Structure 1
């Protein structure tokens, strides 16, 4: 590490290669999932890289490295624990369209909406299709349509206003 601090790239590269298996074994003691082990090792390596100037060459390297690794591992486990406390396991009841019939109705809704969009004036219809249905950015839609960004915004706003009115009128008895 002392050579790496002096700017010796080869020494730094060799150091990282040599400490990685050791860090992997330390991480495997704390984490069960292999991907968590690798993520933890990468986290430690990034930390070592970012604070390598704090290492004192007059002191042993191994305790410095182990202290950093242990802190990173504990931080990671705490984050995972907090995340698990907030998460809820999903079941089929959580699914928005768990019944096949509902999926068919969603398809009919989309067809109905596309039919209403077809009744819009051409510029509004084009703006809605590009910006909302194809989810293009304003710049992309401007290039494709040949309209200015301002014109697209105006046409999309007018189209949404008209669609809202049409949908409200359809839902009222």
Structure 2
């Protein structure tokens, strides 16, 4: 480390290569997850790099390194503990999905109710809803087929949607 402080890049590179396995062993004592352990080792190496000017060559290097490593390990554990306390584990084993055919009756009933409601609309609104929403025609296609303008179709669709919302949504609800 003293040579690295003096500007010897090769000595610094060798130092980092030599301490990395030791730092992994220190981190492995406290951290079981491999990714978290590697993150912690990288954090220690970054801290060593940022604090290298504080090392006193007259003192042993090991205790200085271990002090930094222990602080970074504890900081990482605290951070993961805070994050973990706010996260909910996802247990996909307990999820069940209903068969697509399970709700066919309900969907058919809803579709029938919507079609009946559309049938009660005034002719222009009913035609606009059928072409644009049920048959999924573009505005231009529907305008050509009905002989009305795009603007008139937009207005009719808007009015039809407003009327249908009034039929299906309870009073006072917003949607």
- Range class of TM-score, shorter chain: 0.5 to 0.7
Deviations 1:63-113 (A, max 9, x none): 110000000000011111112211122345997x944539x98xxxxxxxx
Match of 2:72 in 1: 72
Q: Is 1:14 matched up with 2:8?
A: no
Match of 1:156 in 2: none
Distance 2:67 2:20 in 1: 15
- Deviation, 1:54, is 1.4
Match of 1:56 in 2: 56
Whether the aligned pair in 2 keeps the contact of 1:92 and 1:98 (CA below 8 Å) is: no
CA 1:44–1:168: 2 relative to 1, 3 Å: farther
Match of 1:172 in 2: 166
CA 1:93–1:16: 2 relative to 1, 3 Å: closer
Q: Where do residues 136-155 of structure 1 align in structure 2 (5 Å cutoff)?
A: none
Structure 1 stretches of 4+ moved >3 Å: 91-95, 97-102, 115-121, 163-172
Whether the aligned pair in 2 keeps the contact of 1:55 and 1:64 (CA below 8 Å) is: yes
**More displaced stretch, 12-21 vs 43-52:** 43-52
Match of 1:149 in 2: none
- Alignment gaps of 5+ in structure 1: 106-114, 122-162
TM-score, with normalisation over the residues of structure 2?
Answer: 0.57
Deviations 1:38-59 (A, max 9, x none): 1111110011111111111121
Distance 1:86 1:49 in 2: 32
Cα RMSD for the two superposed structures: 3.6
Q: Which has the larger radius of gyration?
A: 2
Match of 2:113 in 1: none
- Alignment gaps of 5+ in structure 2: 108-131, 141-156, 168-175
Match of 2:47 in 1: 47
Q: Is 1:85 matched up with 2:85?
A: yes
Match of 1:4 in 2: 4
